[in-house]
Amino acid sequence: MDLFTEGEPIHDTRAPDGPIEERWDQRRFGGKLVNPANRRKLSVIVVGTGLAGGSAAATLGELGYRVKSFCYQDSPRRAHSIAAQGGINAAKNYRNDGDSIQRLFYDTVKGGDYRSRESNVHRLAQVSVEIIDQCVAQGVPFAREYGGLLDTRSFGGVQVSRTFYARGQTGQQLLLGAYQALERQVAAGTVEMFTRHEMLELIVIDGVARGIVARDMVTGEIETHTADAVVLASGGYGNVFFLSTNAKGCNVTATWRAHRKGALFANPCYTQIHPTCIPQSGEHQSKLTLMSESLRNDGRVWVPVAKGDTRAPGDIPEDERDYYLERRYPSFGNLVPRDIASRAAKSVCDEGRGVGPGGLGVYLDFAEAIARLGRDAVANKYGNLFEMYERITGEDPFEVPMRIYPAVHYTMGGLWVDYDLQSTIPGLFVIGEANFSDHGANRLGASALMQGLADGYFVLPNTISDYLSGGPFEKVGDDHEAVVAARKTVTDRIERLLSIDGDRTPDSFHRELGALMWEYCGMERTDEGLRKALDRIRELRTEFWGSVKVPGENEELNQALEKAGRIADFFELAELMCVDALHRAESCGGHFRAESQTPDGEALRDDENFAYVAAWEYTGEAPVLHKENLEYENVKMVQRSYK
Amino acid sequence: MGMKLTLKIWRQKDGADKGRMVPYELEDISPDMSFLEMLDVLNERLILDGEDPVAFDHDCREGICGMCSLVIDGTPHGPQRATTTCQLHMRHFQDGDVITIEPWRAGAFPVIKDLVVDRTALDRIIQAGGYVSAPTGSAPDAAAIPVPQADAHDAFDAATCIGCGACVAACPNASAMLFTAAKVTHLGLLPQGQPERYGRVTAMVAQMDAEGFGGCTNTGECTAVCPKGIPFETITRLNADLLTAARRS
Ligand code: SF4
Ligand code: FES
């Protein structure tokens, strides 16, 4: 059987033609509006309360729509955007250092290794400036200069200082801003909040999204919620790897269920692997913790020259150390972009020169910085990160070099959307990390927060009105056959999971799937490895449905049942990721195919054959590939080099 | 060789159940495990033994989402200061230890199951006024209003509250004063928070009372367990604002 077939190409028909800097204005002007009196009669479901979902639900509520907001946590404030550390980009040019919307646009397209859509990225850069205004007005306590003005720093290998930040907790502060705006709307009665609720199915009627099936995670009740439009803001799917920097509950179910109902899934193989995470300490490991990238400004990365050198780091003399980033990339050194630093760490560990348990780690050494700047200066800059490291590892980075290793951090792929952020199912919109739209094959630092808030505060609330202006929509009753059928899919699946009563726990399957994906669809992918992974994933999936053990019943808080349902969807996604990675025989951004590299081991793009978005259609068997050609009119495609 | 431990865990089937402490023996626990990973080990075993695994709240497992919530040996978030339950590691325990694990206990936080409690009362306190009314699109340029660095700094310190509710669990009166004061302080220190400052404090405190949280009697247990070190002075600030609000009205 073929792994996939190719169907008709797909196009974004919503971005206006004409000069790129005028397209967003034109689209807003071209879109129809809904008059304020009618908004009250229109309802929107928003799934997820991170930066994208929280800001969207709040803004739609302010506009007067009737909003239902869902999250699986006990409070919308806990969505995983809360954990973002570094900062948020905006082309404010407060520094007068040559920044502009054009430059942010250019940096983002280049950083994405020329695999994103120009119109969307340009709009993102435009909207970035409004985001900072909005957040400051809400009381987000950004870092300030002595004079009281906003401070910025540079981030992720760009040459301007455009990253706004709130110490190492920027995501937390931005999310609390959105959360507070959301709670204000809950109090105002425009938003109804459903916490501890998980979306398990999309309701589609006559090809149009009309609601969701959700499980009340406390009582187990299966509820159907209908609305005039559905917005998915359910985040990324990095937890397919089991170990990632994502929160434990992050999952693909909302987007995957929509995919099964007809929404195309774009570029699923684009995964961002972050180079500076704390390595795994043993079999029991349940998640990985990121250490801010800023540490690479002063830390030097090295491993022993000799294989299997088990001496303590302090006993290894200078000339027996390999500062491999400085050696291989003399001009960027320890500051090469994320994908490059990650791969380099993997290759030295593959050579048997890794350090720490299992040889899966490299040193990030501050000895030189401490000698040069003094202990106090280093403590000032990185003190809280050092403490976090010590809390987890029990080692003091002032005494012993840190050990770091790459970990899955973000997924650039997601549901395909047009310029309006609408998926291929009319009435279904997808925002934030859940869509594929802005980061191409690699996301730049401090751009995830920017995209989440751009989508939620400014883009979606404007574009969704064009769709909603098509109302009033026919009312859908709970007894509609499509609603009944969607509910039945959910209850059948839950019953099936509970009745298998096998001899393996859900987590044991998830760990095994994650290890497979990490091995074959992680930092380096090959044709042979991906085929092996596909075989093994299918076997494991069959085993899962034959021998998973899910205790208890549906009508209670049942965390094992929640997990099992999510893992079942991860299995299907994993297959699609491998097919996507297999078909994309080039290397680009976070996707490195060993067969496609330059003589000195760098990623080699193949623009002639792969300058497109791969949007996949679900069929139940071999998926169908629809290509969206990427055309670059404003940015010239070049090979990235950091030598 | 790993550690041997005895866990005494609060088990309660649902809100209606009375609940009781149940002992469990664990072997071979690595000192490098986090506290929640140790509970994962127990739950994997319970599932295979056909028993009901222990329900507990958690999500980020890196000390920022505020979801984890265990009272460990009588202390919310356990023995290590300024550390959430999810960041606590087993190297702080000894081989042979007996560890008791209970849920947050407060009238306003009813138990849902085992160690999971309902903390939505905290969201309702925010709904009462824990925000700046700034509808999307209405904002002036971000640089229009300078904020003295020291104020931004102190506002940030208060804003780091993760909404976990440990302060409530530690307080003999089950008061949510520290949580509420953290938000009142964060917004009250910034120019953007001024127009609603006094209405905010009044409404939030009224909601806190309505939810059944107790009053504050300055015991200071809250700051001792707060994983983010929210300072006690925030409560002083709240009280001052409340007084001003009463005078103005
Ligand atoms: S004040 Fe401290 S203990 Fe209370 S909710 Fe906030 S972070 Fe938790
Ligand atoms: S699980 Fe998020 S703070 Fe502990």
Supply the pLDDT for residue A158.
Answer: 75
Return mean pLDDT, chain B: 97
Q: What is the pLDDT of residues A44-57, one digit of tens each?
A: 999 999 999 999 99
Residue A132 confidence class, pLDDT cut points 50, 70, 90: very high
* Rounded distance from Cα B69 to ligand 2 centre (Å): 8
From the CA of A557, how many Å to the nearest CA of chain B? 7
Ligand 2 centroid to Cα of residue B66, in Å, is 5
What pLDDT does residue A600 have? 81
Q: Which ligand is nearest to the CA of B168?
A: 1
Whether A415 contacts A434, CB under 8 Å: yes
User: pLDDT at position A182, please?
Assistant: 98
Please give the single-letter amino acid code of residue A597. Answer: Q
Mean pLDDT of all residues belonging to chain A: 95
Name the band, by pLDDT with cuts 50, 70 and 90, for residue B74: very high
Say how far apart CA A483 and CA A2 lie, in whole Å. Answer: 34
- Provide the pLDDT confidence category of residue B111 given band limits of 50, 70 and 90: very high
The CATH code of domain B3-113 reads 3.10.20.30
Catalytic: A77?
no
Which ligand neighbours the alpha carbon of A73 most closely? 2
Q: What is the CATH number of domain A481-609?
A: 1.20.58.100
Q: How close is the Cα of B223 to the center of ligand 1, in Å?
A: 8
Q: Is the pLDDT score of A306 beyond 70?
A: yes
* pLDDT tier, A246 (very low <50, low <70, confident <90, very high otherwise): very high
pLDDT confidence of residue B199? 98
Per-residue pLDDT at A522 exceeds 90: yes
Q: How confident is the model at residue A338 (pLDDT cuts 50, 70, 90)?
A: confident
Does ipTM top 0.95?
A: yes
Produce one character per residue of A171-201: b if its CB has 16 or more CB atoms within 10 Å, e if not: bbbbbbbbbbbbbbbbbeebbbbbbbbbbbb
Give the residue extent of every domain in chain A.
5-270+412-468, 274-408, 481-609
Contact call for A141 and B118, based on CB within 8 A: no
pLDDT higher at A505 or A358 = A505
Say if residue A601's pLDDT is above 90: no
DSSP code of residue B192 = G
How far is it between the farthest Cα atoms of chain B?
66
Alpha helix positions (H), A282-373: 324-328, 338-350, 367-373
pLDDT in tens, A6-28: 999 999 999 999 999 999 999 99
Could you tell me the fold of the domain covering A5-270+412-468? FAD/NAD(P)-binding domain (3.50.50)
pLDDT band at A1 (very low <50, low <70, confident <90, very high): low
How many CB pairs (< 8 A) connect A and B?
Answer: 219
Mutating to test ligand 2, I would choose from B62, B104, B161, B228 the residue with most ligand atoms within 8 A of its C-beta, which is: B62
pLDDT bracket for residue A602 (50, 70, 90): confident
Distance from CA of B220 to the nearest CA of A (A): 25
Q: Which residue, judged by its Cα, is nearest atom 6 of ligand 1?
A: B161
pLDDT surpassing 90 at residue A157:
no
Q: Of the ranges A172-186, A330-344, B197-211, which one carries the lowest mean pLDDT score?
A: A330-344
- List, for residues A198-244, the tens digit of each pLDDT value: 999 999 999 999 999 999 999 999 999 999 999 999 999 999 999 99
Q: Given pLDDT bands bounded at 50, 70 and 90, which one contains residue A65?
A: very high
How many Cα atoms within 13 Å fall on the side-chain side of residue B51? 12
List the catalytic residue out of A123, A338, A343, A487: A338
| Statement: residue A128 has pLDDT above 90 | yes
Q: Where in chain B is the domain with CATH 1.10.1060.10?
A: 120-248
Q: Which of B61, B66, B149 sits opposite A146 (nearest CB)?
A: B149
| SS3 labels along A379-432 | HHHHHHHHHHHHHHHCCCCCCCCEEEEEEEEEECCEECCCCCCECCCCCEEECH
Q: Which amino acid is at A268?
A: P
The pLDDT of residue A433 is above 80: yes
pLDDT band at B139 (very low <50, low <70, confident <90, very high): very high
Question: Does residue A297 have a pLDDT over 90?
Answer: no
**Shortest Cα–Cα distance, A80 to chain B (Å):** 7
| CB contacts, 8 Å: B85 with chain A | none
Least confident of A165-169, A367-371, A482-486, A487-491: A165-169
Nearest chain B residue (CA) to A550? B47
CATH class for the domain made up of A274-408 = alpha beta
For ligand 1, atom 2, the nearest C-alpha belongs to B226
pLDDT digit string (tens) for B41-72? 999 999 999 999 999 999 999 999 999 999 99
Dump the DSSP string for A50-64.
SHHHHHHHHHHHHHT
For residue A156, the model assigns a pLDDT of 63
Q: Looking at domain B120-248, does it have CATH number 3.20.10.10?
A: no
Residues in chain B closer than 8 A to A128 (CB atoms): none
Per-residue confidence (pLDDT) for residue B219, from 0 to 100? 95
Q: Where in chain B is the domain with CATH 3.10.20.30?
A: 3-113
pLDDT at residue A177, as a whole number: 98
Edge-to-edge strands, sheet with A208-216? A197-205, A208-216, A222-226
Task: Indicate whether this model's pTM tops 0.95.
Answer: yes
Query: In percent, how much of chain A has pLDDT > 70?
Result: 99
